[in-house]
Amino acid sequence: MVQYNFKKITRVPTGKDFVDIVLSRTQRQTPTVVHKGYAINRIRGFYMRKVKFTQTNFHEKLSTIVDEFPRLDDIHPFYGDLLHVLYNKDHYKLALGQINTARNLIGKIAKDYVKLLKYGDSLYRCKALKVAALGRMCTVTKRIGPSLAYLEQIRQHMARLPSIDPNTRTILICGYPNVGKSSFINKITRADVDVQPYAFTTKSLFVGHTDYKYLRYQVIDTPGILDRPFEDRNIIEMVSITALAHLRAAVLFFLDISGSCGYTIAQQAALFHSIKSLFMNKPLIIVCNKTDLQSLEGISEDDKKLVEEMKSEAMKTLVVDGQQVLLTMSTLTEEGVIAVKNAACERLLDQRVEVKMKSKKINECLNRFHVAMPKPRDQKERPVCIPESVLEAKAMEAEKVKRKLERENENENGGAGVYSASLKKHYLLADDEWKEDNMPEILDGHNVYDFIDQDILQRLEELEKEEGLLQEQGDGEDEEMEGEDLTPEQQKELNEIRKKKSILIREHRIKKSTAESRPIVPRKFDKDKRFTSERMGRQLSSLGLDPSKAMKRVRSESRGRKRERSSDHGEGMDVDDDEGSNKKMKIRSNSKSRSMSRSRSMSRPPVHELVPGEGYKDSAQKIKREDYQTLRISVFF
């Protein structure tokens, strides 16, 4: 578990924002109206409430800052020294001290002015005391503006620090710059550390996590360290020194034996000896990296002696004999990377177990353990017995491993789109040869395949040829009919029909394209009189049809409508000479006609509503049918 989460620290406002926040809250959450006519006790209470509320808000905000920022003496020494390296703990403590002092001063100011407000004898004096109290509180807050800005910068920087748990299993990587530390952590964890071919690419600590024997390990990449006096090291190097000094971890000291990092093996060995005091009581492994450029056997004799000296120093940290302290690897080819990780995890695990075995708590735990050692009860041999079901399951698993996948068969037989997988090869039949047989289709108890003619394909080709010949003959006949068999009069009528058809099609397309933007022209302005009964009669006569029945039907409908109107009007008339009775009868007859028309309209369903027995599936189908009929009528006329 990560014990320190600096990302939860509340944002620190500037001095001006602090004052605006508190005063606006006081204005919004306290009463704002007071009159001269109020009793003096009520006026005093009004302004005392303002002062106390403002002091409470200042106290809460400043207390949040003081409490949420970590105290360097109470947190782990690793974080304490890290914060000291990054921010200088004296300045940090001084800023928090000023915040605490301002909090106490604001409390004292509020206490003094509340005491003075108890003796205020008028509205004006009470208001003046309130203004003075709030003014002094704001002045104190503005004076600590630089400290607030400094703490906000520290908060932002602390939020970017990695979440490192100092008490968990940790692997620490150190060494000269550009020796392959970041590449190694990218290989064994999911951390994405920037890797570049120049020194000091890594300027802070980076954390990744890896697993070994079902346990989680924390891997920390540190910035490069140079071999120089302690006083001359900069902040980036001191971050690495702090991590080495305070974290209980397995240390991997990276050594570039190829020299491509810009530093010789002698310089790297000097760095190792200068910081070897930080390796005490920690598992240490020397990792010779970049073996793809230079093998360990190919270096000079002097360099080999230096490496052997480093190895002898690392041997002193062994807990269990026989473990390796000098390993080689290459992060480019990934040769030996997993071996280095496993060795570091194993060394750290052994060291932690050894420490626990030496602690006082182990005696209490051992008393609870009992290891049972079975003793032979007779001389009979009892070999290990494995059930047959287990053996069969193992054999089936081995067969599954050996069995080819369909993807492999697909790649061998032409790939996707060419290879077609057989769905019958896994059928469980008495004889495997039956798998590819054609499956019969049964219809009415008969096998359909028995009635299929063997020469059906050949006969189909003959039919297609015959149909092609007939089509050719038919096309020739149509051409002759169009050109030769028609008389001049028929040809003239055919041309007129085609011309009329093209005109109707063109007009319909124009109407359809301009349907939305075309205005509706009233009938009285229709000078062309395009849709009249006379025009319909003329068109029917030109087509050789008798228009008398259609015209009679149109006239009878128009007369019927007029008669209905006149009958309605007749129903509304009154025969009585009395004027009052005439009015009453007219009202009754009119209401009666309205009710009859309303009942008639209510009994008739809407046009688009579906009525049972019409034969439509739903109302949408009915609407579509009516639109189609309307379109046909418009094209015809």
pLDDT, residue 47, reads 94
Residues 231 and 226: their CA atoms lie apart, in Å, by: 12
**Which residues contact residue 583 at a Cβ distance below 8 angstroms, ignoring those fewer than 6 apart?**
none
User: Phi, psi (5° rounding) for residue 446?
Assistant: -120, 150
Mean pLDDT of the 262-288 span: 88
Give me 260's structure tokens. Answer: 């491509």
CATH number for the domain harbouring residue 323: 3.40.50.300
The DSSP letter of residue 445 is T
Q: Do 169 and 271 belong together in one domain?
A: yes
Residues 577 and 299: their CA atoms lie apart, in Å, by: 139
Residue 276 lies in a domain: yes
Residues 552 and 540: their CA atoms lie apart, in Å, by: 14
pLDDT, residue 320, reads 60
Query: What's the pLDDT band for 99 if we cut at 50, 70, 90?
Result: very high
Q: Which of 198-207, 433-442, 525-534 has the lowest mean pLDDT?
A: 525-534
Per the CB < 8 A criterion, the answer to whether 144 and 222 are in contact is no
Last residue of a domain, one of 306, 327, 358: 358
Q: Do 190 and 114 belong together in one domain?
A: no
pLDDT, residue 20, reads 93
Each as own residue / partner, the long-range contacts of residues 487-493 (CB below 8 Å, 24 or more positions apart, any chain) are none
Task: Work out the burial of residue 102: count CB atoms within 10 Å of its CB; fewer than 13 is exposed, 13-18 middle, 19 or more buried.
Answer: buried
State the alpha helices, DSSP H only, in 481-578: 488-513, 533-542, 548-571
Q: Do 128 and 276 belong together in one domain?
A: no
**The pLDDT of residue 558 is above 70:** no
* Backbone angle region of 613, left / alpha / beta, with phi > 0 → left and psi within -120 to 50 → alpha: left
Q: Do 142 and 288 belong together in one domain?
A: no
Query: What's the pLDDT band for 252 if we cut at 50, 70, 90?
Result: very high
Please state, for a pLDDT cut of 70, what percent of the chain lies above it. 82
pLDDT, residue 527, reads 60
Give how many domains the chain has, as a whole number.
4
Task: Find which of 122-126, 276-280, 528-532 is predicted with most confidence, using mean pLDDT.
Answer: 122-126
Residue 533 lies in a domain: no
Nearest to 347 by CA among 326, 371, 377: 326
**Which residues contact residue 261 at a Cβ distance below 8 angstroms, ignoring those fewer than 6 apart?**
176, 177, 178, 179, 199
CATH number for the domain harbouring residue 44: 1.20.120.1190
Residues 457 and 464: their CA atoms lie apart, in Å, by: 11
Q: Do 217 and 188 belong together in one domain?
A: yes
Nearest to 288 by CA among 251, 250, 255: 255
Q: What is the pLDDT of residues 455-472, one digit of tens each?
A: 888 888 888 888 888 888
Q: Do 45 and 136 belong together in one domain?
A: yes
Residue 512 lies in a domain: no
CB burial of 47-79 (b: ≥16 within 10 Å; e: otherwise) equals: bbbbbbbbbbbbeebbeebeeebbebeeebebb
**The pLDDT of residue 477 is above 80:** no
Q: Do 84 and 169 belong together in one domain?
A: no
Question: CA 339 → CA 184, 219, 283, distances in Å?
Answer: 12, 15, 16
Q: What is the pLDDT of residues 171-200, one digit of tens each?
A: 999 999 888 888 999 989 988 888 887 777
Nearest to 96 by CA among 76, 71, 114: 71
Q: Do 30 and 145 belong together in one domain?
A: yes
**The pLDDT of residue 1 is above 50:** no
**The pLDDT of residue 576 is above 60:** no
Last residue of a domain, one of 358, 374, 402: 358
- Going edge to edge, which strands form the sheet with 284-289? 206-212, 215-221, 170-175, 250-256, 284-289, 326-328
Return the number of other C-beta atoms located less than 10 Å from residue 191's C-beta: 18
pLDDT, residue 107, reads 95
Mean pLDDT of the 486-492 span: 85
pLDDT, residue 557, reads 59
Q: Which of 40-49, 295-304, 438-447, 500-509 has the lowest mean pLDDT?
A: 438-447
Residue 481 lies in a domain: no
Residues 106 and 94: their CA atoms lie apart, in Å, by: 18
pLDDT, residue 148, reads 94
At residue 520, the 3 state secondary structure works out as coil
At residue 627, the 3 state secondary structure works out as helix
Residues 40 and 323: their CA atoms lie apart, in Å, by: 88
Residues 164 and 247: their CA atoms lie apart, in Å, by: 10
Mean pLDDT of the 326-346 span: 90
Pick the more confident residue, 59 or 370.
59
How does the average pLDDT of the chain come out, rounded? 81
Q: Do 33 and 180 belong together in one domain?
A: no
The amino acid at 605: P
Sign of CA dihedral 602, 605, 609, 611: positive
Q: Do 205 and 72 belong together in one domain?
A: no
Pick the more confident residue, 597 or 518.
518
**Which residues contact residue 591 at a Cβ distance below 8 angstroms, ignoring those fewer than 6 apart?**
none
Q: What is the pLDDT of residues 152-172, one digit of tens each?
A: 999 988 888 888 888 889 999
pLDDT, residue 603, reads 52
The DSSP letter of residue 11 is P
Residue 628 lies in a domain: yes
Nearest to 152 by CA among 87, 214, 224, 246: 87
Give me 180's structure tokens. Answer: 């392959």
The DSSP letter of residue 320 is S
Give me 619's structure tokens. Answer: 């109302």
The amino acid at 68: E
Mean pLDDT of the 434-449 span: 75
At residue 27, the 3 state secondary structure works out as helix
Residue 527 lies in a domain: no
Query: What's the pLDDT band for 246 if we cut at 50, 70, 90?
Result: confident
Residue 615 lies in a domain: yes
Q: Do 117 and 223 belong together in one domain?
A: no
The DSSP letter of residue 440 is P
pLDDT, residue 385, reads 86
pLDDT, residue 572, reads 38
Q: Which of 406-420, 510-524, 584-598 has the lowest mean pLDDT?
A: 584-598
Last residue of a domain, one of 335, 358, 381: 358
Residues 223 and 176: their CA atoms lie apart, in Å, by: 8
**The pLDDT of residue 105 is above 90:** yes
Mean pLDDT of the 223-249 span: 86
Mean pLDDT of the 552-559 span: 67
**The pLDDT of residue 452 is above 80:** no
**The pLDDT of residue 481 is above 50:** no
Q: Which of 29-43, 193-207, 480-494 has the lowest mean pLDDT?
A: 480-494
Q: Do 576 and 619 belong together in one domain?
A: no
Query: What's the pLDDT band for 563 if we cut at 50, 70, 90?
Result: very low
Where in the sequence is the domain holding 559, given as residue range(s)? 548-602
**The pLDDT of residue 488 is above 70:** yes
**The pLDDT of residue 445 is above 90:** no
H/E element holding 256?
A: strand 250-256
Mean pLDDT of the 71-82 span: 84
Residue 444 lies in a domain: no
